[in-house]
Amino acid sequence: MNTLTRTSDLNLLLKQAEALLENEHDEIANMANLSSLIFNSIENLNWAGFYIYKDRELVLGPFQGLPACVRLQLHKGVCGTAAAEHRTLNVPNVHVFEGHVACDSASNSEVVVPVIINDEIYGVLDIDSPDYGRFDEDLVSFFEQIVEIYKKASF
């Protein structure tokens, strides 16, 4: 697949995401449908889902993939760091990331996008792949736009 084709595929997926969430503001339902859309549309993933910030930790939310760690500490691992620093992390090799939390030994690369509402952490979108360096700029930007669609529909 060439880049142009892939970019238009990602744009089409964004349109599908908007359509899926249209007229629906339920926070959990929207996370569930977005996890499924990502997991079933992007190749070579082994996990896609959300953690929700509650009582000063990240708690497992709707996801697709194998059962995962339920509670993650802020500042620890990829999710905890993205949440604490309010920034997207693209980690091409999770095994060299300080404090990485290995929920599924199949994961080798990971992207985490924080969901920030009113300057406060609400949760994270976490995507894992068995490939090293699976995620390029286009995919990271795609996941960030998915989070924007989530926020617009749910809040």
- Rule CB under 6 A: which residues touch ligand SME? 47, 68-69, 72, 77-80, 100-101, 103, 107, 110, 126, 128
Nearer to ligand SME, 13 or 59 (CB): 59
In sequence order, the 6+-apart residues with CB closer than 8 A to the CB of 19 are none
Nearer to ligand SME, 9 or 104 (CB): 104
**Token pair for residue 35?**
């996890």
Gap between the Cα atoms of 142 and 20, Å rounded: 16
Rounded least distance, CB 92 to ligand SME, Å = 14
Rounded least distance, CB 69 to ligand SME, Å = 6
Q: How does DSSP assign 102-131, residue by residue?
A: -SSTT--EEEEEEEEETTEEEEEEEEEESS
E strand or H helix at 20: helix 3-21
Nearer to ligand SME, 68 or 84 (CB): 68
Residue whose Cβ sits closest to ligand SME: 77
Gap between the Cα atoms of 37 and 9, Å rounded: 13
Rounded least distance, CB 15 to ligand SME, Å = 27
Nearer to ligand SME, 12 or 28 (CB): 28
Rounded least distance, CB 87 to ligand SME, Å = 14
Gap between the Cα atoms of 67 and 120, Å rounded: 27
